[in-house]
Structure formats: structure tokens, C-alpha cells
């Protein structure tokens, strides 16, 4: 479409001015004459119409040369006009392609912004997961330290229980030795009593024999009666002495029995301490099992956190790849 003010009359006036100055009225020359206004296509159309209606002068060599020159100029102008049309078409196609690419670029930038927001969200989630993983690692280290301390306590308690067991076995051995000694003492006392009883019975039998003999010879051996009475008194004293000795032996047996009872009390206390230590060992073992279960749970949580971290890393890598593809597009 021609610009405002450019019409056939104006083009004709500019062409005549150029011809009057002896210049070739080409499209560019006419356009310059018009003040660089007007479309070349419009100027070319008006020039062709003017050339068709313009009367041709009689042929001459100079006129032929001018016509050839004008023809070449017009051909050049036509080539330039067609080239200009192609350039305009190329420019229009370029503008269209540019607008399309700009639209695609805007969509890509929106997608990139969306991906950037998602990447920021994933980055924040990754940092949160990293913080939680660090917390889980700290908790795991604390639990491991606590478990190691409890294991050491269990080992110490087991060692103490072993020492108590050794002490109890020692007491049991002492108790067995004391019981054997008491049994031996009882057998000795019993044997001694039997010997004393047999001796006493023998002495009594002897005294009875002597008494019978003395009764038979009482008249004859009256003077021996006093001696026999003295012997009888002596035997009674020995019997009292033997009774005192037996009483002392009974006291010794009672004291020994008291010591044995004391040993039994000590053994009972040791048994009670052993049972209490065994209960503590059972409690500590249960505590160790509980800590092992908590450690397994912590390991599972750490494994889950690692899996989530791997998934987040994969998602971040995928987002970075999408961003790279979008930027390349």
C-alpha cells in the first residue's frame, strides 16, 4: 500500500524532473526525488504505466542506446523490486518465525520458572532431609555410645556375678568341709563315748564283782571296806569328771552347730545376693535387647532417609536435565 501523498501524478512529476536533468528515472532515483518516500513497488507500477502511455520517438542510434540503457535500468529495477519482494517475504517469514520462537521462548521461560520453583522446593526438601539425616546420625551415635556403656556395665556385672559364684562355691566347699569335720567330730565323740561307756560298764562290772567278793569276804576283810569305799568315791569323782567332760563336749558341739548355722545364714545371704545379681543381669539383658531393637529401628530410619535422599537426588538430576533440554530448545 502506497504511503500518504504518493500517487501517479507525483511520480510522473518526479520522472519528468529527472528526465529534464538528463538522469535516468529509476525507481531509486524517483524515490530520492520524492524525498525517500513511497513504496518501490508502487513507484515501479506508476513508472510502467507512464512508460506504456509515453509516445516513442523515431528510432536513432542514440535513442536506441538510451532505450537500451533505460531497458537495462528497468530490468535492474525489476530485479531489485523482485529481490525486494523476496526480502520483504523473507523479512515477514523471519518476523513470523521470530514471533513463534519468542512465544516458545516465553513458554520455555515459564516452564523454566516452574522447574526452578520445583527445584527450589526439592532443594529445601533435600536440605530438610539432610538435616534429619544428620539428626538421625547423631541419635544413632548417642544410642551406640549408650549401648556400648550398657554392654560394659553388663560385662562388669557378669564379672561380679562370676566372682560371687566363685565366692559362693568357696563357701559351699567350706560348708562341706565343716560338715565333714562335724561328722568326723561326731563320730569321734560317739566312738569316744562308746569307749568310755564300755570302759565304765567294765569298771561297773568289775566293781560289782569286787562288791560281791567284798560281800562274801566282808567279815574277813572289814578293813578293805574302807578302801573299797574310797575306791568307790574315786570312781564317782571320775564319773563326775567324765560327766563334766561330756558336758564340755556337748557345749563345743552346740558352738559348732551355731557356727554351722552362721555359715548357713551367710550362704543364704550369698544366695539372695546371687539371685538379686541374676535379676539385675536379666534386666540388663532385656535393656540391651531393647536398645538393639531401637538400634534396628534407627538403622531402618537411616536406610529410609538414604532412600529418600537418593530419590531426591534422582529427581533433582531429572529436573536439571529438563532445564538443560528446555534451555537448549
pLDDT in tens, the chain (329 residues): 334 557 888 988 988 898 888 888 888 888 898 888 888 888 888 888 887 766 555 444 555 566 677 677 677 767 766 666 666 776 778 788 888 888 888 888 888 888 888 888 988 888 888 888 888 788 888 888 887 888 787 777 778 778 777 877 777 777 677 677 667 767 877 787 777 777 767 766 775 676 567 567 767 766 776 776 677 677 777 767 777 877 777 787 788 888 888 888 887 887 888 888 888 888 888 888 898 888 889 888 888 888 888 888 888 888 888 877 777 76
Tell me the fold of 118-328.
Answer: Helix Hairpins (1.10.287)
Q: Determine whether 102 is exposed, middle or buried from the number of CB atoms within 10 Å of its CB (0-12, 13-18, 19+).
A: exposed
The closest alpha carbon to 274, from 152, 167, 153, 174, belongs to 167
C-alpha 148/C-alpha 274 separation (Å) is 25
What is the per-residue pLDDT for 83? Answer: 63
**Cα radius of gyration rounded to whole Å, the chain:** 69
Contacts of 14 (CB under 8 A, 6+ apart): 25, 30, 33, 34
Amino acid at each position: 500500500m502506497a504511503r500518504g501523498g504518493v500517487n501517479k501524478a507525483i511520480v510522473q512529476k518526479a520522472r519528468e524532473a529527472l528526465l529534464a536533468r538528463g538522469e535516468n528515472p529509476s525507481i531509486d532515483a524517483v524515490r530520492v526525488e520524492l524525498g525517500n518516500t513511497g513504496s518501490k513497488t508502487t513507484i515501479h507500477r506508476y513508472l510502467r504505466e507512464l512508460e506504456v502511455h509515453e509516445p516513442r520517438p523515431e528510432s536513432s542510434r542514440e535513442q536506441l542506446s538510451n532505450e537500451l540503457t533505460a531497458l537495462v535500468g528497468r530490468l535492474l529495477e525489476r530485479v531489485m523490486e523482485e529481490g525486494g519482494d523476496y526480502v520483504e517475504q523473507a523479512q515477514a517469514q523471519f518476523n513470523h518465525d521470530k514471533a513463534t520462537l519468542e512465544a516458545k521462548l516465553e513458554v520455555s521461560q515459564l516452564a523454566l520458572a516452574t522447574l526452578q520453583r520445583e527445584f527450589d522446593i526439592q532443594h529445601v526438601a533435600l536440605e530438610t532431609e539432610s538435616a534429619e539425616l544428620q539428626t538421625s546420625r547423631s541419635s544413632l551415635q548417642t544410642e551406640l555410645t549408650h549401648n556400648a556403656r550398657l554392654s560394659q556395665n553388663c560385662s562388669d556385672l557378669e564379672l561380679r556375678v562370676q566372682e560371687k559364684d566363685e565366692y559362693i562355691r568357696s563357701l559351699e566347699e567350706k560348708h562341706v568341709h565343716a560338715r565333714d569335720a562335724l561328722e568326723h567330730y561326731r563320730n569321734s565323740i560317739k566312738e569316744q563315748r562308746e569307749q568310755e561307756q564300755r570302759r565304765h560298764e567294765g569298771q561297773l562290772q568289775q566293781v560289782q564283782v569286787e562288791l560281791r567278793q567284798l560281800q562274801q569276804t566282808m567279815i574277813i576283810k572289814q578293813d578293805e571296806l574302807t578302801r573299797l569305799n574310797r575306791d568307790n568315791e574315786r570312781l564317782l569323782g571320775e564319773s563326775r569328771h567324765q560327766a563334766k567332760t561330756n558336758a564340755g563336749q556337748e557345749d563345743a558341739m552346740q558352738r559348732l552347730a551355731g557356727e554351722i548355722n552362721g555359715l548357713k545364714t551367710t550362704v543364704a545371704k550369698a544366695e539372695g545376693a546371687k539371685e538379686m545379681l541374676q535379676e539385675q543381669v536379666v534386666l540388663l539383658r532385656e535393656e540391651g535387647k531393647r536398645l538393639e531393637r531401637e538400634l534396628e529401628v534407627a538403622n531402618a530410619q537411616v536406610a529410609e532417609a538414604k532412600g529418600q535422599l537418593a530419590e531426591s537426588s534422582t529427581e533433582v538430576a531429572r529436573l536439571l536435565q529438563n532445564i538443560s533440554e528446555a534451555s537448549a530448545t
